[in-house]
Amino acid sequence: MAKIDFGGVVEDVTTSDEFPLDKAREVLKKETIAVLGYGVQGPAQALNLRDNGIDVIVGQLEGDEYWEKAINDGFVPGETLFPLEEAAKRGTIIMELLSDAGQVATWPKIKQCLNEGDALFFSHGFSIVYKDQTGVIPPENIDVILVAPKGSGRSVRQNFLAGSGINSSWAVFQDHTGRATERTLALGIAIGSGYLFPTNFEKEVFSDLTGERGVLMGALAGVMEAQYNVLRANGHSPSEAFNETVEELTQSLIRLVDENGMDWMFSNCSATAQRGALDWAPKFREAVKPVFDELYKSVASGKETQRVLDINSAQDYKQKLDKELEAIRDSEMWKAGAAVRSLRPERRGK
């Protein structure tokens, strides 16, 4: 592991320099990796493993849309694509990449497929940390491990194909074989991680649920909508309001942040923009801090996970979700966004 200074705090991280792909292949050469679930993370991790020369099979509900997607991606029924339980029986490392609600629903059957010395792999600490709600309690004679990519499945695959990789956290919850750590790091490298940083299951799920509901998705959507509505209420056109709220952020400023950090972005903007950002950032920080405190407490208490399980397990979940997403898509703000995106040169064939 390499020691890296993160703003005065030294952390251990693992890259392909410390744990090269050849070493990962050696660690995993006698393993059969069974990826359960071909929805969000499943395709990216399975395809990256396969492209890296790892023995991987997929488990999915036979005949559904994700089963067909796996076939289209080159997995062969009866050879590298199986029903969930069959895949779990064949695997020595079982990667639980079903949805959180899906893991709960299938756990009683999957548990029966585990053999002594197997590894049960997660990309999210949800099922293990909230075991009182999920009922997911692994047997003591297996390894229980985690690699959590810090991005969507789509990003995991795109970054892999681009040769960069995506950062991931890793953790060992249970080490029965004495090989849990090397198995975990090998899988982290093999699924295409840019670098791996250590955590534990609880910290992973607390940070992940807070991030998704906060800056990464929930807060971002809410703040964008608030600014757009204020601009519209003060007479600005949809095009102007959307460009000043979303387009400039996604097409310009966030790329500067990605390149070299927030100070770099500030230094590459006008003096007027710099001054305004520096003056107003503390106001926004103080305004939203109580919301984040409330959010973290809700995550830690299990309130958020119970809501996820209750809603996502309902028979009409998909229909209600579609309506919620449709309401966002049909709002003026995101209709304006569709129009703005259609005017980008690459969309117009120029």
Which residues are annotated as catalytic? 124
Interatomic CA distance for residues 19 and 26, integer angstroms: 11
Interatomic CA distance for residues 248 and 254, integer angstroms: 8
- Are 92 and 119 in contact, with CB atoms under 8 Å apart? yes
- Are 137 and 160 in contact, with CB atoms under 8 Å apart? no
CB atoms within 10 A of CB 339: 12
Contacts of 274 (CB under 8 A, 6+ apart): 266, 267
CA contacts within 13 A on the Cβ side of 222:
10
Euclidean distance between the first and final Cα of the chain, in Å? 47
Contacts of 311 (CB under 8 A, 6+ apart): 317, 320
Would you state the structure tokens that stand for residue 141, as one six-digit string?
């004679």
Q: What are phi and psi of 9, to 5 degrees?
A: -110, 120
